[in-house]
Amino acid sequence: MMRAARAAPDAIPDETMTIDFETYDDDNIFARILRGELPSETVHEDEHVLAFRDIAPQAPVHVLAIPKGRYIAHGDFHRDAGDAEIAAFWRAVASICRDLDVTRGGHRLIANQGPDSGQIVPHFHVHILAGKPLGPLVAG
Ligand code: AMP
């Protein structure tokens, strides 16, 4: 279990400070969505990737793309996944952006990793945000 040694900044939810970022949790929300135990509004699915609408959208378009493999964040995904899996993931992200029609207007990809980023779901995911001017890169 990884715990931050200092107080959480206000913008970071308390729960992220106690998430285990070193051992994959098979009961995390996205693992449960992948097993069909929780519903999701799917926008894309293939052999390696699932993408679905974020339950608390931060922009008019807010989609999460996740690999189907057991990865906690981008660090272990890019260390441990096979080349075909990594290529399939990023090709799918680009394809999803085209399907969402957010290439011309623009979009932002975000991948949080660990407490300082505010990551709350310990299954690697990329946020696809679009549909309005997205403002500064980092809040505050
Ligand atoms: P992160 O802070 O990068 O870990 O972001 C996790 C995201 O997952 C947040 O934007 C949540 O709103 C989103 N989320 C949590 N539970 C669900 C769910 N059941 N379905 C869709 N999105 C979810």
pLDDT 10s digits, 88-108: 999 999 999 999 999 999 999
Residue 46's domain spans which residues? Answer: 14-130
Backbone angles phi, psi at 116, to 5 degrees: -65, -25
Pocket around ligand 1 at a 6 A CB cut-off? 29, 38, 40, 52, 54-56, 64, 112, 118-121
Strand-by-strand arrangement of the 107-110 sheet: 42-45, 49-53, 61-67, 126-130, 107-110
The atom of ligand 1 lying closest to the CA of 122 is 4
| Nearest CA owner, ligand 1 atom 3 | 119
What is the per-residue pLDDT across 111-136, written as a single tens digit (0 to 9) for each?
999 999 999 999 999 999 999 999 99
Residue 7 belongs to some domain of the structure: no
Residue 90 belongs to some domain of the structure: yes
pLDDT value of position 17: 64
CB atoms near residue 72 (< 10 Å): 23
6: left (phi over 0), alpha (psi -120 to 50) or beta: beta
> Based on the structure, what is the number of domains in the chain?
1
What is the per-residue pLDDT across 46-92, written as a single tens digit (0 to 9) for each?
999 999 999 999 999 999 999 999 999 999 999 999 999 999 999 99
SS (H, E, C) 96-124: HHHHCCCCCCCEEEECCCCHHHCCCCCCC
Residue 111 belongs to some domain of the structure: yes
Residue 139 belongs to some domain of the structure: no
| Nearest CA owner, ligand 1 atom 18 | 55
Residue 138 belongs to some domain of the structure: no
Q: What angle do CA 87, 94, 108 make, to 5 degrees?
A: 120
Secondary structure percentages of the chain, helix, strand, coil, to 5: 25, 20, 55
- Model pTM above 0.85: yes
pLDDT value of position 140: 76
Residue 2 belongs to some domain of the structure: no
CA distance 98 to 85: 20
Residue 38 belongs to some domain of the structure: yes
By the 8 A CB rule, do 48 and 92 touch? yes
Strand ranges (E), the chain:
42-45, 49-53, 61-67, 107-110, 126-130
Residue 54 belongs to some domain of the structure: yes
The predicted model gives 38-46 an average pLDDT of 98
pLDDT value of position 29: 98
Q: What is the CATH number of the domain that holds 92?
A: 3.30.428.10
